[in-house]
Structure 1
Amino acid sequence: MLLLRTVAPCLLLSFLGQQVSLCSGARSADKQTGKAQRSDNNGAASGRGKFSTRDKMQCTWSATVVGDAVKLPVRCENLEARIKGGVTDLQCEYNAKPATCPGYLSDPRGFWKQVARAFKRLQSKVCRDERALVRAGMCKRAPKDAHFKLDISTSVVAAQSGGPEPAPPRPPRPTLPTTTGNGTGPTSCTKRADHHKTAVEYCSSSWASVCSFFLSMLQSEDC
């Protein structure tokens, strides 16, 4: 009886110690899992940045997770071009599956820093050249779909015309009538019929042709 009273507390303490150890280990594992999940879920959500190009375009981008893919909408604007003329706005979207790159999961902050530098290197190719990929340096050996590629169907370029207003077109010059060799005016052949009528009135029908001939010689305006 005395032995039972001595052993029972020891067994109880041992059992309680095992339960505490199991609970502590489970909590630690849950914390690690939660941390990994938060890192995975927030990796793309925290991807955002801005850059500028040599032609004074100010650009911003922000990542959005869609399934196993990541979409990168990009928007650029140039306020000076709204006054002086030129390209004022750019909009487009880049797509990739960066999860195929190990660095994206292990170091998401470093991954997005490298993406930001890659955008700066594109310069005038941003939203225009679908062959120019946005590559993170840590993903050089990753599959091609790990790099962001432009969806050319989403590219929109807006331009503002600038400078002086174009001069209105000049009205066409009036067409001058054709003149005769002595510059007296347009040629008219209607007076020949008048000569024949006059000749019929003042001459007999047999002499009408001769009279008409002489009348035409006397009047210099005839054709």
Structure 2
Amino acid sequence: MCTKELLLLLFACCVWSAESQGAGRRQNIWAEPIKFSTKSKDSCTMVVTGHGEHTRLRLSCQSNKRSYWCEYLGKPNTCRSYSKDPRHYFVQMMWDFRKLHNACLAPKQIKPRMCRRATDESQMVFSSASFSRQWPEASTRTAGVRPAQPSRSQPRPTTPVSTRHPAIPRFPTRVQTQRRPVPQPTAPTVESNPKRIARLYCWRSLHGVCSYVIGLFRN
């Protein structure tokens, strides 16, 4: 019996030591703030408080010209990856904050990449800030405004059908070629009797003289 009791006592001590170490590690995680600088050289600090139902993240930034703060609430413990390494969850948020000129101008809901497959319940949601912020409405239904329905397109006026008969296409008329008049054969010139007689009875060199003489006699 003493051996069993000793073993049970030893086992209980080990469990208590492991739990105390885990709690101490978690307290160290929450106690050590995450520090970074924004794109505009603002020095910022992330402080995480709470665990379980509501985890609160307070982001405080300051520089020579300004100072501001904002808070996020969520249930990151619903993500399995968060339970393994909770600090890395907020470190991934810090990587997104440092890319901004104003760290509190981050999106309203933030879900780190390590929990992208988890439900939206594991994301951190913006709750308050040192300045007012306006968020675009997700949809018109959430605002109680019914989306305007597109008006039915009115039928286009139909062009009246003309009662006239369709115009018959005119084919190009053939160009009538004018025929050139065929030259009529000219009647052979009738020679006068004196020239004919002179041609028949006189030498060729004397045709003119003979025809003149013969003409005188005929007249």
Length-normalised TM-score, structure 1: 0.50
Structure 2 counterpart of 1:18: 4
| C-alpha separation in 2, matches of 1:57 and 1:143 | 32
Instruction: Mark the runs of 5 or more structure 1 residues left unpaired by the alignment.
Output: 1-14, 82-87, 158-223
Structure 1 counterpart of 2:105: 128
User: CA, structure 1 residues 29+66, in 2 after alignment: closer, same or farther (shift >3 Å)?
Assistant: closer
Deviations 1:124-143 (A, max 9, x none): 35223543x44332211122
User: CA, structure 1 residues 64+44, in 2 after alignment: closer, same or farther (shift >3 Å)?
Assistant: farther
Structure 1 counterpart of 2:17: 31
Work out whether 1:140 is the aligned partner of 2:116.
yes
Q: CA shift at 1:115, angstroms?
A: 2.8
Deviations 1:89-114 (A, max 9, x none): 22211112111112222122333332
The answer as to whether partners of 1:45 and 1:63 remain within 8 angstroms in 2 is yes
| C-alpha separation in 2, matches of 1:52 and 1:28 | 42
The answer as to whether partners of 1:111 and 1:138 remain within 8 angstroms in 2 is yes
Q: 55, 61, 66: which is aligned to 2:46? A: 61
Tell me the amino acid that sits aligned with residue 116 of structure 1: M
| C-alpha separation in 1, matches of 2:112 and 2:28 | 14
Q: 98, 122, 131: which is aligned to 1:156? A: 131
Q: CA shift at 1:36, angstroms?
A: 3.9
Deviations 1:138-178 (A, max 9, x none): 21112223222222x42428xxxxxxxxxxxxxxxxxxxxx
The answer as to whether partners of 2:92 and 2:113 remain within 8 angstroms in 1 is yes
Structure with the bigger percentage of helix: 1
Q: Following superposition, which runs of at least 4 residues in structure 1 exceed 3 angstroms of deviation? A: 33-39
The answer as to whether partners of 2:73 and 2:125 remain within 8 angstroms in 1 is yes
Length-normalised TM-score, structure 2: 0.51
User: CA, structure 1 residues 77+37, in 2 after alignment: closer, same or farther (shift >3 Å)?
Assistant: closer
Instruction: Mark the runs of 5 or more structure 2 residues left unpaired by the alignment.
Output: 133-219
Q: 61, 65, 72: which is aligned to 2:57? A: 72
The answer as to whether partners of 2:37 and 2:44 remain within 8 angstroms in 1 is yes
Q: CA shift at 1:62, angstroms?
A: 0.7
The answer as to whether partners of 1:59 and 1:77 remain within 8 angstroms in 2 is yes
State the identity as a percent: 25
Q: 92, 96, 104: which is aligned to 2:70? A: 92
Answer with 1 or 2: which has the greater Rg: 2
Q: Over aligned residues, Cα RMSD in angstroms?
A: 2.7
Structure 2 counterpart of 1:110: 88
Q: Secondary structure at the match of 2:101?
A: helix
| C-alpha separation in 1, matches of 2:107 and 2:93 | 16
The answer as to whether partners of 1:74 and 1:92 remain within 8 angstroms in 2 is yes
